[in-house]
Structure 1
Amino acid sequence: MKKTSTYPVSARGPADHEVRDQIVAAATEHFSRYGYEKTTVSDLAKAIGFSKAYIYKFFESKQAIGEMICANCLRQIEAEVSAAMAETDLAPEKLRRMFKAATEASLKLFFQDRKLYEIAASAATENWQAVVAYEGHIQKLLQDVLQEGRQSGDFERKTPLDETAKAIYLVMRPYLNPLLLQYSLDYTEEAPMHLSNLVLRSLSP
């Protein structure tokens, strides 16, 4: 599997500056304690021990900090999905593992901390750059698996590749998007198996 993709975020200053990481780490802890919506940049500055002006040297807004945290979470989900898929060389099994790993990783990261869930909800509602990039990366993973399956003879070749990947992504979306996932919690254990089996039957040559 390919290396985990990068995510675009709105930030200022040197990209690899350690102060940026300190701000993100402190903000993650602060948001998890007090919530994203109720926290201001002034609150963060006081908690971290930096001036508000100093934080603005690295991030243009509270949302920019939230985007960095969101990007880290989405990058972790993508890494777990890629690792699960790398455990097999069979395209159908990769697809099954993708459904299962994506659902499990999303549940763990979106709901292990209800305060941080506010960031995920804001990101999905406002279509932050990191979310758009993540959706694109997942669809690219799908396209790669579909291409492998077509080459091995496991999947049909008549439907346009991008159309097939988009359709499968829409099937997965209720278990990837935090706003939709909260309404699908009763089905998260069985859904990956049933949905991936249904998709695989539709892909039969």
Structure 2
Amino acid sequence: MTEKKNAAAIRGPSDHTIRDQIVAAAMEYFSHYGFEKTTVSDLARSIGFSKAYIYKFFGSKQEIGEVICASCLADITERLNAALEKSPSATEKIRQLFQTLAVAGCELFFRERRLYDIAAASSREHWPAAVQYEAALRERVLAILLEGRTAGEFERKTPLDETAMAVYLVLRPLADPLQLQISLDTAGEDANQLAALVLRSLTP
């Protein structure tokens, strides 16, 4: 995944200790007051830096949010990678793909509600971190389908790219924070049913 390699990661002085301090303080501040309601001036006062000094490291509040969002998405990706590595077949990987995204997304929502709002803003406004995350998920779906076809688990008549996009569209309500928050109470069961539907459609 490349979510952390965004514009904010290379702007300004190369003092990563200060950058990390700003991001850590921003996470704490956003957790209490929310991303949308916080200004760079608010953040500067809470850290004890000047607003101008923060702008030496980040061009905007969004760039700070990008780093935080990328970190959250990277955590979800790590969980997904671990789950898929343990899956013995493409069929099981489909199940784990749906279930892990649902569970990880819900846990982030309930554990860090304010930070979840940053992920929602990222999706709504198409920040690079969200765009890259979605692209990586589509590539992951494509790889699993190809594995399943090679092993004889999935049908081969439908064009691979068409099938991959269809599966991603079924998966998206669980991967997109804007859509997931609508069905948090049923996300786990929804994931099971959606995965079962996809697997039936992929039967040779």
Give the TM-score normalised by the residue count of structure 2. 0.93
Q: Distance in 1 between matches of 2:159 and 2:49?
A: 53
Percent of aligned pairs with the same residue?
Answer: 57
In structure 2, relative to structure 1, the CA distance for the partners of 1:47 and 1:165 (3 Å cut) is same
Kindly report which structure 2 residues correspond to 1:41-190, keeping only aligned pairs within 5 A, or say none: 41-190=40-189
CA apart distance, 1:13: 2.5
Q: For structure 2, which runs of at least 5 residues remain unmatched after alignment?
A: none
The residue type paired with residue 22 of structure 2 is I
| Residue aligning to 2:6 | 9
CA apart distance, 1:184: 1.4
CA apart distance, 1:14: 5.4
The residue type paired with residue 7 of structure 2 is S
Q: For structure 1, which runs of at least 5 residues remain unmatched after alignment?
A: none
What is the aligned length?
Answer: 201
CA apart distance, 1:88: 1.9
- Deviation readout 1:135-178 (Å, 9 max, x if unpaired): 00111111111111111010111222222111111111111111
Query: Aligned Cα RMSD in Å?
Result: 1.5
Structure 1 stretch 182-191 or stretch 86-95: which is displaced more? 182-191
CA apart distance, 1:117: 2.6
Q: Distance in 2 between matches of 1:145 and 1:78?
A: 15
Q: Distance in 2 between matches of 1:105 and 1:82?
A: 12
| Residue aligning to 1:191 | 190
| Residue aligning to 1:37 | 36
Q: Distance in 1 between matches of 2:152 and 2:12?
A: 50
Q: Is the 8 A contact 1:42 1:52 kept in 2?
A: yes
Q: Distance in 1 between matches of 2:34 and 2:196?
A: 39
- Deviation readout 1:106-160 (Å, 9 max, x if unpaired): 1111332222232122112111111110000111111111111111010111222
CA apart distance, 1:46: 1.4
Structure 1 stretch 144-153 or stretch 8-17: which is displaced more? 8-17
Q: Is the 8 A contact 1:24 1:65 kept in 2?
A: yes
CA apart distance, 1:51: 1.9
Q: Distance in 2 between matches of 1:112 and 1:135?
A: 23
Q: Distance in 1 between matches of 2:152 and 2:113?
A: 44
Q: Is the 8 A contact 2:98 2:195 kept in 1?
A: yes
CA apart distance, 1:27: 0.3
In structure 2, relative to structure 1, the CA distance for the partners of 1:83 and 1:14 (3 Å cut) is farther
Q: Is the 8 A contact 2:13 2:56 kept in 1?
A: no
Higher helix share: 2
Q: Distance in 2 between matches of 1:123 and 1:71?
A: 10
| Residue aligning to 1:23 | 22
Structure 2 residue matching 1:50: 3-state secondary structure? coil
Q: Distance in 2 between matches of 1:145 and 1:81?
A: 13
